[in-house]
Amino acid sequence: MEARYIKATLALCCAAWLAATGPVLAEEAKPEAKPVKLTTTADHTKFKQLQKTFDSGPEVTKACLECHTEAAGQIHRTKHWKWEFLNPETKQTLGKKTILNNFCISIASNYASCTSCHVGYGWKDANFDFAKQENVDCLACHDTTGNYKKPPGFAGNPVTKDTEFPPGSGKIIKGIDLAKIAQKVGKSSRDTCGACHFNGGGGDGVKHGDMDSSLAAPTKDVDVHMDAEGLDFTCSTCHKTSSHDVAGSRYTPTAKDNKGVQVRGKAGSGNPATCVACHDNAPHKSVARLNQHATRIACQTCHIPTYARGGIATKMTWDWSTAGKRDKDGKHIILKDAKGRITYESRKGDFTLAENVKPEYAWFNGNVQFTLLSDKIEKTGQRTQINKMGGSPTDGKSMIWPMKVFRGSQPYDPVNKTLITPHTAGNDDTGFWKNLDWDKAIPVGMKDSGAPYSGKFDFIKTEMSWPITHMVAPKDKALGCVECHAKEGRLAGIQGVYLPARDNNKLVDTAGWAIVLLTLLGVIGHGALRIVTSRKH
């Protein structure tokens, strides 16, 4: 009886072994079908540290740090963490912590909302602990599930249990399972970078114009490099990262790269995210004339004919001066255009939006000077530039660049002559987005910024420039000659360069037409003589 059991059990064991190894053996014959993860060398589902319930982000980070012991320290040195950057050229202290813009204006006093895009947990006020390793958010960049969310209002924390927010609103934010997300971590992707960078300025495509959710899985026409069916570049293919520090900068952009292709091992190669870093300084093989263009014109100028090409509109203007209106019942107003896009919100004012936008063009040398809260400004006929883009046709460092120029009107202090950092986000009595009261919102925001406020406010017209560099089109969609070589072409406003068909020089024109006339006379004369002489014979 027992022998029968043993035989049966052994048979079962053999069957089990065959079932378990059979497919593997079969697959060894066809290695392409082997079920192995090719994008990572570690299957995080197998790590005991991650096989538990996590109630908060820092708990996950603590588990990550057990193996990745240096990761948090690396993050602590980056702009993504500090939101602070000292521009070595202008000596200005920049970074999100300091600068203002003409979108949502400033993070001061609005931390709990804005820091949903910080790579950290718990930055709710000026007392955030930047030295604590567990405060680093690994999942923001390493989530592969697409389910990791940090809703505004939670100071960069994910929500792990269903939560009503704002309290009393009846709106429920679904809790997410951090263990499931942590067990599937991997390389950063267009989705992880895009979770913040596609949504800058308060919504999809709002800020940059050349970055929106259409780049998550774009077609070739939207971006030739990121084309999900083709080259499938991620952001980090160009923004090559070292020790968690991502290459590329909005504060010190590389306007002119004359260092050629980056070769492995070559020291001092500079910014790996430029076009030249891969394509070299003379990339046009069949039409050499275009390489001469590339000495004065940024690649992006011709190769990004329009931005916001992925079907998502970008904001072009924002007028804060009209914010604060209520309907007859005293409620907030939201107006939309025919396409369902918001054009007015009581909280924010009037907007205009656009798709397939032709950039504006300017000489740009990479120098960016910001108007900070400490800078004096004057209300004149001209717009105050939030960021002055340096450049000229004669400095030897500038190229003609495409720009999104975002124009708006925002609060300023007419007595102290400074910009203003209002308290906007927040479920409290002074938050402008709740109570629509500038007199309450401004003092709180300015106090948090540590800046004086006279008690009076007005609105000032501003503009901010954003160099366009994403959404590179396929080469057959690059600009043709006549787009610029024309009287009212794209470069109509660019000074300091002679553009045939756009520009005239009386002397050159007279000499040219004289040559044409003389040539014509010569041909006619020669022909006439031939006719006359042939008749004589």
Partner 1 sequence: MKLIKTLAAGAILSVIAASASAYDADWKRGRVYYRSVCTSCHVVAPIGSINPSTKTKAEWAAYIKADKHAKGKDTVKQYVSKAYRASIKAGNKAAEKFADTPDQELLDDVAAFLNKGAKDGDAPASCS
The secondary element (H helix, E strand) that includes residue 28 is helix 2-29
**Dist. CA 363–CA 491, nearest whole Å:** 11
**Dist. CA 457–CA 455, nearest whole Å:** 7
Q: DSSP letter at 257?
A: -
Smallest gap from Cβ 219 to partner 1, in A, equals 8
220 contributes a contact to partner 1 by CB under 8 A: yes
231 contributes a contact to partner 1 by CB under 8 A: no
Of the candidate spans 139-147, 355-363, 396-404, 425-433, the one that interacts with partner 1 by CB under 8 A turns out to be: 139-147
Helices (H) and strands (E) in the chain, counts: 15, 17
Q: Which of 459, 429, 456, 458 is nearest to 444 (CA)?
A: 429
Of the candidate spans 12-20, 265-273, 363-371, 464-472, the one that interacts with partner 1 by CB under 8 A turns out to be: 12-20
Instruction: Rule CB under 8 A: choose which of 151, 230, 443, 474 binds partner 1.
Output: 230
Size of the site for partner 1 (CB under 8 A): 31
The b-or-e profile of 325-344 (16+ CB within 10 A means b, else e) is: eeeeeeeeeeeeeeeeeeeb
Residue 284's DSSP bridge partners are none
Smallest gap from Cβ 310 to partner 1, in A, equals 8
Q: Which of 111, 54, 203 is nearest to 448 (CA)?
A: 111
Contact 54, 179 (CB under 8 A): yes
Of the candidate spans 89-97, 110-118, 213-221, 360-368, the one that interacts with partner 1 by CB under 8 A turns out to be: 213-221
**Residue spans of alpha helices (H) in 145-210:** 178-182, 190-197
**Which residues are CB-contacts of 468 (< 8 A; sequence separation ≥ 6)?**
209, 210, 300, 304, 307, 359, 401, 402, 403, 404
Instruction: Rule CB under 8 A: choose which of 162, 229, 329, 476 binds partner 1.
Output: 229
522 contributes a contact to partner 1 by CB under 8 A: no
Contact 403, 389 (CB under 8 A): yes
Smallest gap from Cβ 5 to partner 1, in A, equals 5
Of the candidate spans 91-99, 141-149, 164-172, 273-281, the one that interacts with partner 1 by CB under 8 A turns out to be: 141-149
Smallest gap from Cβ 306 to partner 1, in A, equals 17
501 contributes a contact to partner 1 by CB under 8 A: no
How far is residue 515 CA from its own chain's centroid? 52
Instruction: Rule CB under 8 A: choose which of 217, 282, 342, 481 binds partner 1.
Output: 217
Smallest gap from Cβ 15 to partner 1, in A, equals 7
SS (H, E, C) 100-141: CCCCCCCCCCCHHHHHHHCCECCCCCCCCCCCCHHHECCHHH
Lay out the site mask for partner 1 across 19-48 (x = CB under 8 A, - = otherwise). xx--x--------xx-x-x-----------
Which amino acid is present at 262? Q
Residue with Cβ nearer partner 1 (143 or 257): 143
The secondary element (H helix, E strand) that includes residue 460 is strand 458-467
With tokens 């567990």, the residue in question is 134
Instruction: Rule CB under 8 A: choose which of 86, 89, 146, 455 binds partner 1.
Output: 146
Contact 342, 334 (CB under 8 A): yes
527 contributes a contact to partner 1 by CB under 8 A: no
17 contributes a contact to partner 1 by CB under 8 A: yes
Instruction: Rule CB under 8 A: choose which of 15, 334, 482, 524 binds partner 1.
Output: 15
Instruction: Rule CB under 8 A: choose which of 134, 137, 143, 191 binds partner 1.
Output: 191
With tokens 């022909």, the residue in question is 527
Residue with Cβ nearer partner 1 (213 or 410): 213
> Which residues, numbered 59-78, are part of the site for partner 1 (CB under 8 A)?
none
Of the candidate spans 2-10, 244-252, 299-307, 485-493, the one that interacts with partner 1 by CB under 8 A turns out to be: 2-10
162 contributes a contact to partner 1 by CB under 8 A: no
Of the candidate spans 14-22, 379-387, 413-421, 509-517, the one that interacts with partner 1 by CB under 8 A turns out to be: 14-22
Kindly list the residues in this chain that would bind partner 1 in the complex (CB under 8 A): 2, 5-6, 9-10, 12-13, 15-17, 19-20, 23, 32-33, 35, 37, 145-147, 176, 189, 191, 214, 217, 220, 228-230, 310-311
